[in-house]
Amino acid sequence: MINEKAVTSKKEQVVIIWCTLVLFVVPALCGAEESNRTGKGELFGIFQYMGGDVAESGWVDVELEDAALFGFGFGYNFNEYLNLNTDFLFGSTGINGNSGYYYFGEVKENATTVAWDVNMDWNVLDYTATPLVTGGAGFIHYDGGSGSLSFSETDFTYHVGAGVRWDITDRILFKLLYRFTWTKLQDTDSPVVLDGVGFTIGIKFGGGSGLREKSGTRKATASPSYKKIKSDDKRTDDGTEVYRP
Protein backbone atom coordinates (compact mmCIF):
# COMPACT_ATOMS: atom_id res chain seq x y z
CA MET A 1 0.00 0.00 0.00
CA ILE A 2 1.36 3.43 -0.93
CA ASN A 3 1.93 5.67 2.09
CA GLU A 4 0.66 9.02 0.86
CA LYS A 5 0.98 10.67 4.28
CA ALA A 6 4.69 9.85 4.40
CA VAL A 7 5.18 11.34 0.94
CA THR A 8 3.34 14.55 1.95
CA SER A 9 5.28 14.84 5.20
CA LYS A 10 8.60 14.52 3.37
CA LYS A 11 7.65 17.28 0.96
CA GLU A 12 6.63 19.63 3.77
CA GLN A 13 9.95 19.11 5.56
CA VAL A 14 11.96 19.80 2.41
CA VAL A 15 9.97 22.99 1.69
CA ILE A 16 10.61 24.29 5.23
CA ILE A 17 14.35 23.62 4.95
CA TRP A 18 14.55 25.26 1.52
CA CYS A 19 12.65 28.38 2.59
CA THR A 20 14.96 28.73 5.60
CA LEU A 21 18.03 28.58 3.37
CA VAL A 22 16.63 31.20 1.00
CA LEU A 23 15.68 33.59 3.81
CA PHE A 24 19.02 33.45 5.62
CA VAL A 25 21.63 32.67 2.96
CA VAL A 26 20.44 35.07 0.24
CA PRO A 27 20.73 38.25 2.35
CA ALA A 28 24.32 37.32 3.16
CA LEU A 29 25.14 36.98 -0.55
CA CYS A 30 23.43 40.18 -1.62
CA GLY A 31 26.39 42.36 -0.75
CA ALA A 32 27.87 41.42 -4.11
CA GLU A 33 28.50 43.80 -7.02
CA GLU A 34 25.84 44.92 -9.43
CA SER A 35 25.30 42.48 -12.27
CA ASN A 36 25.75 42.79 -16.03
CA ARG A 37 23.31 40.28 -17.53
CA THR A 38 21.44 42.45 -20.04
CA GLY A 39 21.64 41.22 -23.63
CA LYS A 40 23.60 38.06 -22.83
CA GLY A 41 22.76 34.54 -23.92
CA GLU A 42 23.30 31.47 -21.75
CA LEU A 43 24.22 27.83 -22.32
CA PHE A 44 23.92 25.59 -19.27
CA GLY A 45 23.82 22.09 -17.88
CA ILE A 46 21.06 21.20 -15.43
CA PHE A 47 20.22 18.59 -12.79
CA GLN A 48 16.64 18.27 -11.51
CA TYR A 49 15.48 16.00 -8.71
CA MET A 50 11.77 15.20 -9.01
CA GLY A 51 10.08 13.76 -5.94
CA GLY A 52 7.41 11.17 -6.65
CA ASP A 53 3.65 11.27 -6.15
CA VAL A 54 0.54 9.09 -6.50
CA ALA A 55 -1.94 9.27 -9.39
CA GLU A 56 -5.35 7.85 -8.52
CA SER A 57 -8.01 6.43 -10.80
CA GLY A 58 -11.18 4.36 -10.41
CA TRP A 59 -9.41 1.03 -10.75
CA VAL A 60 -5.69 1.50 -10.05
CA ASP A 61 -3.30 3.79 -8.18
CA VAL A 62 -0.01 4.52 -9.92
CA GLU A 63 2.97 5.75 -7.93
CA LEU A 64 5.72 7.67 -9.70
CA GLU A 65 8.91 7.20 -7.69
CA ASP A 66 11.56 9.86 -7.15
CA ALA A 67 13.63 10.52 -10.25
CA ALA A 68 16.93 12.27 -11.03
CA LEU A 69 17.00 13.97 -14.43
CA PHE A 70 19.96 15.52 -16.24
CA GLY A 71 20.02 17.78 -19.26
CA PHE A 72 20.96 21.06 -20.89
CA GLY A 73 19.37 24.35 -21.87
CA PHE A 74 19.61 27.79 -23.40
CA GLY A 75 18.54 31.21 -22.14
CA TYR A 76 18.53 34.94 -22.89
CA ASN A 77 18.57 37.93 -20.51
CA PHE A 78 16.26 40.73 -21.66
CA ASN A 79 17.57 42.89 -18.82
CA GLU A 80 19.01 42.44 -15.32
CA TYR A 81 15.73 41.00 -14.03
CA LEU A 82 14.03 38.91 -16.74
CA ASN A 83 15.48 35.74 -18.26
CA LEU A 84 13.69 33.47 -20.76
CA ASN A 85 15.11 29.95 -20.97
CA THR A 86 14.30 26.44 -22.10
CA ASP A 87 15.67 23.11 -20.88
CA PHE A 88 15.65 19.46 -21.94
CA LEU A 89 15.82 16.75 -19.25
CA PHE A 90 16.45 13.01 -19.54
CA GLY A 91 16.31 10.14 -17.06
CA SER A 92 14.29 7.19 -15.75
CA THR A 93 11.31 6.96 -13.39
CA GLY A 94 10.27 3.96 -11.29
CA ILE A 95 6.55 3.07 -11.45
CA ASN A 96 4.54 1.09 -8.89
CA GLY A 97 0.94 -0.05 -9.36
CA ASN A 98 -1.76 -1.17 -6.92
CA SER A 99 -5.40 -1.99 -7.73
CA GLY A 100 -8.39 -1.69 -5.40
CA TYR A 101 -10.38 -4.29 -7.36
CA TYR A 102 -7.84 -7.01 -7.98
CA TYR A 103 -4.28 -7.66 -7.03
CA PHE A 104 -1.76 -8.22 -9.78
CA GLY A 105 1.35 -8.65 -7.65
CA GLU A 106 4.05 -6.22 -6.63
CA VAL A 107 4.37 -4.43 -9.95
CA LYS A 108 7.50 -2.32 -10.31
CA GLU A 109 8.64 -1.04 -13.67
CA ASN A 110 10.89 1.67 -15.07
CA ALA A 111 9.96 4.22 -17.70
CA THR A 112 12.31 6.34 -19.77
CA THR A 113 11.53 9.97 -18.95
CA VAL A 114 12.05 13.00 -21.20
CA ALA A 115 10.94 16.52 -20.21
CA TRP A 116 10.96 19.83 -22.04
CA ASP A 117 10.20 23.14 -20.33
CA VAL A 118 10.04 26.83 -21.21
CA ASN A 119 10.68 29.06 -18.20
CA MET A 120 10.58 32.75 -17.32
CA ASP A 121 12.92 33.69 -14.47
CA TRP A 122 12.59 36.87 -12.43
CA ASN A 123 15.79 37.97 -10.71
CA VAL A 124 14.58 40.00 -7.73
CA LEU A 125 17.77 42.09 -7.48
CA ASP A 126 20.17 43.49 -10.08
CA TYR A 127 23.15 42.05 -8.20
CA THR A 128 25.41 39.11 -8.99
CA ALA A 129 23.73 37.19 -6.14
CA THR A 130 19.94 37.46 -6.06
CA PRO A 131 16.78 35.62 -5.03
CA LEU A 132 15.05 34.08 -8.02
CA VAL A 133 11.42 33.24 -8.85
CA THR A 134 10.57 31.11 -11.88
CA GLY A 135 7.52 29.73 -13.65
CA GLY A 136 6.72 28.00 -16.92
CA ALA A 137 5.17 25.12 -18.80
CA GLY A 138 6.17 22.19 -20.98
CA PHE A 139 5.70 18.47 -21.55
CA ILE A 140 6.89 15.24 -19.96
CA HIS A 141 7.05 11.90 -21.79
CA TYR A 142 7.03 8.45 -20.16
CA ASP A 143 7.79 5.29 -22.10
CA GLY A 144 8.23 1.90 -20.46
CA GLY A 145 6.76 -0.79 -18.26
CA SER A 146 5.41 -4.15 -19.35
CA GLY A 147 2.39 -6.41 -19.04
CA SER A 148 -0.38 -4.92 -16.90
CA LEU A 149 1.66 -1.77 -16.16
CA SER A 150 2.84 -0.61 -19.55
CA PHE A 151 2.31 2.80 -21.04
CA SER A 152 3.72 5.41 -23.38
CA GLU A 153 2.31 8.91 -23.03
CA THR A 154 3.14 12.61 -23.25
CA ASP A 155 1.57 14.91 -20.66
CA PHE A 156 1.34 18.69 -20.31
CA THR A 157 3.16 20.19 -17.32
CA TYR A 158 3.33 23.56 -15.58
CA HIS A 159 5.55 24.61 -12.72
CA VAL A 160 6.69 27.31 -10.30
CA GLY A 161 9.84 27.57 -8.23
CA ALA A 162 12.13 29.77 -6.19
CA GLY A 163 15.77 29.88 -5.24
CA VAL A 164 18.96 31.82 -5.81
CA ARG A 165 21.07 32.87 -8.78
CA TRP A 166 24.77 33.68 -8.51
CA ASP A 167 26.76 35.16 -11.38
CA ILE A 168 30.11 33.84 -10.16
CA THR A 169 32.03 35.79 -12.80
CA ASP A 170 31.01 37.89 -15.78
CA ARG A 171 30.83 34.64 -17.83
CA ILE A 172 29.88 31.89 -15.33
CA LEU A 173 26.48 31.49 -13.64
CA PHE A 174 25.00 29.17 -11.01
CA LYS A 175 21.36 28.65 -10.02
CA LEU A 176 19.85 26.63 -7.17
CA LEU A 177 16.07 26.13 -7.25
CA TYR A 178 13.24 24.26 -5.59
CA ARG A 179 10.55 23.61 -8.18
CA PHE A 180 7.00 22.22 -8.12
CA THR A 181 5.78 20.57 -11.34
CA TRP A 182 2.13 19.59 -11.88
CA THR A 183 0.97 17.06 -14.47
CA LYS A 184 -1.85 14.55 -14.97
CA LEU A 185 -1.34 11.04 -16.25
CA GLN A 186 -3.79 9.74 -18.81
CA ASP A 187 -6.83 7.84 -17.47
CA THR A 188 -6.26 9.02 -13.88
CA ASP A 189 -8.51 11.19 -11.72
CA SER A 190 -6.01 13.31 -9.81
CA PRO A 191 -2.95 15.35 -10.85
CA VAL A 192 0.50 14.61 -9.46
CA VAL A 193 3.01 17.06 -8.03
CA LEU A 194 6.65 16.35 -8.80
CA ASP A 195 8.80 18.58 -6.62
CA GLY A 196 12.46 18.78 -5.84
CA VAL A 197 15.77 20.63 -5.83
CA GLY A 198 17.60 21.43 -9.05
CA PHE A 199 20.80 23.22 -9.89
CA THR A 200 22.19 24.81 -13.02
CA ILE A 201 25.71 25.81 -14.00
CA GLY A 202 26.46 27.53 -17.27
CA ILE A 203 28.25 30.17 -19.29
CA LYS A 204 27.09 33.57 -20.57
CA PHE A 205 28.04 34.94 -23.95
CA GLY A 206 27.45 38.08 -26.02
CA GLY A 207 26.37 41.41 -24.59
CA GLY A 208 28.74 43.72 -22.76
CA SER A 209 31.63 42.70 -20.55
CA GLY A 210 32.61 43.68 -17.05
CA LEU A 211 30.41 44.69 -14.13
CA ARG A 212 28.05 47.65 -14.42
CA GLU A 213 29.08 50.91 -12.85
CA LYS A 214 27.20 51.27 -9.58
CA SER A 215 24.42 53.84 -9.50
CA GLY A 216 25.28 57.16 -7.95
CA THR A 217 28.99 56.87 -8.71
CA ARG A 218 31.18 58.53 -11.32
CA LYS A 219 34.49 57.58 -12.76
CA ALA A 220 37.31 59.70 -11.35
CA THR A 221 38.90 62.12 -13.80
CA ALA A 222 42.29 63.72 -13.49
CA SER A 223 42.32 67.45 -12.82
CA PRO A 224 45.27 69.79 -13.42
CA SER A 225 47.22 70.93 -10.38
CA TYR A 226 47.67 74.35 -11.84
CA LYS A 227 46.14 76.61 -14.43
CA LYS A 228 48.02 77.97 -17.40
CA ILE A 229 47.63 81.71 -17.75
CA LYS A 230 48.11 83.03 -21.28
CA SER A 231 46.95 86.61 -20.92
CA ASP A 232 49.51 89.22 -22.00
CA ASP A 233 49.52 90.93 -18.63
CA LYS A 234 50.72 87.64 -16.99
CA ARG A 235 53.93 87.30 -18.98
CA THR A 236 57.41 88.34 -17.93
CA ASP A 237 59.34 90.90 -19.83
CA ASP A 238 61.07 88.24 -21.96
CA GLY A 239 57.67 86.66 -22.92
CA THR A 240 57.88 83.60 -20.61
CA GLU A 241 54.41 82.32 -19.63
CA VAL A 242 53.51 82.30 -15.96
CA TYR A 243 51.81 79.25 -14.36
CA ARG A 244 49.50 79.85 -11.39
CA PRO A 245 48.84 76.98 -8.92
Residue 97 identity:
G
- Return all residues near 225 (Cβ < 8 A) that are at least 6 apart: 245
- Burial class for 136, CB neighbours closer than 10 Å (0-12, 13-18, 19+): buried
Provide the 10 A C-beta neighbour count for residue 26.
Answer: 19
- In whole angstroms, give the CA distance from residue 174 to residue 182: 25
Q: Report CA 113 to chain centroid distance, whole Å.
A: 20
pLDDT digits (tens, 9 = 90+) for 39-76: 999 999 999 999 888 887 766 778 888 999 999 999 99
- In whole angstroms, give the CA distance from residue 230 to residue 240: 10
pLDDT digits (tens, 9 = 90+) for 167-199: 988 999 999 999 999 999 888 888 999 998 999
What is residue 228's predicted lDDT score, i.e. its pLDDT? 44
SS3 for 148?
A: coil
- In whole angstroms, give the CA distance from residue 204 to residue 74: 10
Residue 6 identity:
A
Segment 108-126 mean pLDDT: 92
What is residue 221's predicted lDDT score, i.e. its pLDDT? 43
Closest CA to 120 of 159, 164, 172, 171: 159
- In whole angstroms, give the CA distance from residue 157 to residue 24: 31
Find the CATH number of the domain harbouring 31: 2.40.160.20
pTM: 0.72
What secondary structure letter does DSSP report for 80? S
Residue span of the structural domain in which 28 resides = 4-244
The structural domain count of the chain equals 1
Whether residue 222 has pLDDT greater than 50: no
Mean pLDDT of the residues in the chain: 78
